[in-house]
Structure 1
Amino acid sequence: MSLRLSTVILPVDRWHEGGAATWRRAEELGFRTAYTYDHLSWRSFRDGPWFGALPTLTAAATATERLRLGTLVTSPNFRHPVTLAKELISLDDISGGRVTLGIGAGGSGFDATALGQEAWTPKERADRFAEFVPLLDRLLTEDAVSERGTFYSAEEVRNIPGCVQRPRLPFAVAATGPRGLRLAARYGQAWVTTGDPKLYEEGTPGQSVAALRGQIEKLGKACAEAGRDVAGLEKVLLTGFTPDKNTMLDSVDAFVDFAGTHRELGFTEIAVHWPIPDSDFAADQRVFEAVATEALAQLG
């Protein structure tokens, strides 16, 4: 089974003070896709520079030629399907059809209350996500959409000419629960996970692998219920949130071992954060670039 390597570039640098160069370097290193977080701020970066995802991806689209671009992930926390669809169609056009939308139900972090609302419960997030994804699907595939929902509505919305990618740009659906997995099975071209968050602090790599195996089994069941072959769904592991987060980039050999183990589980893409000094994603830039250029060849 082939494996692709992607990266996640957090939007922390001014575009003309290193931001543009990072995206160009990602293309030079041969990454399949460069993603960014679609947040208003994030954890330890909250009090520092942080730029918008879609403007950043638009700039990256003009600075690169081959690199796929995407979000990991966009959520309903501060997005609406109608306005998001228009921006995505524009980005897909500007990039020449190189966009993937990573999309998830969202969490309880800073974005969850930024617009003044109370943080939604997990059930409330799932309810909104279950309505958000189908409406976004329609908005990206139909020229005109009217729909009245409980949480999201569209009234005579026009999205002409639609996406460059047909029938629309691909969705990479982040999900581990049953409702999210059903959405991934029905609407996703890819599925995304970060692993089991309960194992982040004190779990072992072996426990993490077992948890990921269980998630993929549940995904397979959801696909079967939807009448779909799970093999046709790309499976993306967003790294940095598993127990081996601090060792997987110690060397090329360490990453090859990590990647091989997860390829055997069925993952088809691994996304690694671009190093940021003095942060949760600190790593040796030289090792990171060696991983980008040498690891997949060693996997065979």
Structure 2
Amino acid sequence: MTVFFSPSLDAMNNQTIYLASRPRGLPTADNFRFETSAVPALTEGQVLLKARYVSVDPYMRGRMNEGKSYVPPFELNQPISGGVVAEVVESQASKLPVGTLVVGNLPWQQYSVSDGNGLQQIPQGQAPASYYLGLLGMPGLTAYFGLLDICQPQPGETVVVSGAAGAVGMVVGQIAKIKGARVVGTAGSDEKVAYLKELGFDEAINYKTANLAEALAAAAPNGVDCYFDNVGGAITDAVYDLLNTHARIALCGQISSYNDTEAPVGPRPEGKLLKTSAKLQGFIISNYYQRWPEGVAQLTAWYQQGKLRTEETITEGFDQIPAAFLGLFTGENTGKALVQVA
């Protein structure tokens, strides 16, 4: 088989980011370690991938801990991995020629070798490649299935979205508007609140400056029919006081507690769920893996019709991946947080 390659690869080094230690509380730069090695060689059926965009996502914080979860934890002294858009720069696989752009779960390294399993080719001309880590990727699919399968918003109902200026939340709100709902979002700055209004949210609340109970009650005078929970904590406690009968809650994330060193203690939700006959369902996007093509097709159609917009916070440089990840927990990103690898 003919081997296609870039002549410059032999002279290139390959950087990899490892999990150096498990954080206690908020992660720091010391939890990561960079190592340099040679660019790996290929065997029959393999491709060499060069990272173009690396995704940083809140769920990765849980994988830095030991213990059983819905996905195995990152191993100490092994490469961290996540969503990556990469380009095939050398190929011994005829189905993935040089120049092909793919998206998949890959190590945090500049170059990686793959046999093609788990990689999805990015279609040409439908959307920017980076969108397949955001609007048309895992965050967008999380919004699509969590809202439509669990919350099932109806025209005229009120949908509240916490973490609404994040990669998932902003898509949730826009889909809810497509379905004819009244949409209320919470975010952590006046700038993010203004952006949510641009996206068509009916109301948006800065949870850092508002009295949550009063602001939510004013924004949802007819109560809450659907709640898409990305955050947990005090925001969720306040929303539960406004639940209507037969409300539906999609439990997607709890970023407010990801760095807690002790289990948080707060209001018990069971009584409120019981009194309102509300449905609370946790979910992870891999539950819907078989239906991903359906979700991508619909999200792409809405995007091309101008019904969905997105925002990206892009950090430049492979060496900035840990900093971009840490920024998730201080609210530095609006929309999808990505690192563009030079």
Please say whether Structure 1 and Structure 2 have the same fold, judged by a TM-score greater than 0.5: no
More strand by share: 2
More helix by share: 1
Q: Rg: which structure is higher? A: 2
